[in-house]
Amino acid sequence: MSDPQQQAQRALRNALGAFPTGVTVITARDDTRDSLVGLTVNSFSSVSLDPALVLWSLSCKSPNLSVFVPGRAHVIHVLADTQKDMAYQFASPGVDKYAGVDYQLTEAFPAPVIEACTARFFCEVHQVLDGGDHHIILARVLRYDASDLAPLLFAKGQMMSLDTCTAP
């Protein structure tokens, strides 16, 4: 049985989950541990066109708080609706996030770049802002690409495809 505070938090999370989003996977290199990091994020949002800025939020409980600091290169991948399994894989702590993932690590950009996404934003952390139990990562978009692939959607705790949504 959960206490009233946990129940209140769950109710707020459920209400916030009524707002549909896309799904992203954010990738970076952890130079200190010489490893790759990556996580599934739906808090991504556009902020500014000039300068080109986006934001996303990172849980204060994340083991990667020391990675996403000002200047850190990272790629925000907007997932296609064929990448649902990858979304769950990158949301699972303690697994090999990159197992079976088609990605490139080249000299061109110091973060893993995943193939076959709807869009990709090549970013560097501009500012880390206080966001309560999350850090708000304000990121500068250095370059981007986009495809015609249909995006993966997330609403009410479920992943779905744009194809299965009908016009109102």
Instruction: Enumerate binding residues for ligand FMN (CB under 6 A).
Output: 23, 37, 39-43, 56-59, 62-64, 91-93, 154
CA-to-CA separations, 166 to 16, 21, 82, in angstroms, rounded: 22, 16, 19
Could you tell me the smallest distance in angstroms from the CB atom of residue 51 to ligand FMN? 22
Q: Measured on CA atoms in the order 141, 139, 55, 160, is the torsion positive or negative? A: positive
Smaller CB distance to ligand FMN: residue 26 or 113? Answer: 26
Structure tokens at 55: 């934001």
Smaller CB distance to ligand FMN: residue 67 or 113? Answer: 67
Instruction: Tell me the residue number closest to ligand FMN, measured at CB.
Output: 43
Could you tell me the smallest distance in angstroms from the CB atom of residue 107 to ligand FMN? 25
The torsion defined by the Cα of 131, 117, 18 and 5, in degrees rounded to 10, comes to: -40
Q: CA-based diameter of the chain, in Å?
A: 52
Could you tell me the smallest distance in angstroms from the CB atom of residue 104 to ligand FMN? 21
Smaller CB distance to ligand FMN: residue 37 or 111? Answer: 37
Smaller CB distance to ligand FMN: residue 43 or 82? Answer: 43
Could you tell me the smallest distance in angstroms from the CB atom of residue 50 to ligand FMN? 25
DSSP string, 1-31: ---HHHHHHHHHHHHHTTS-EE-EEEEEEET
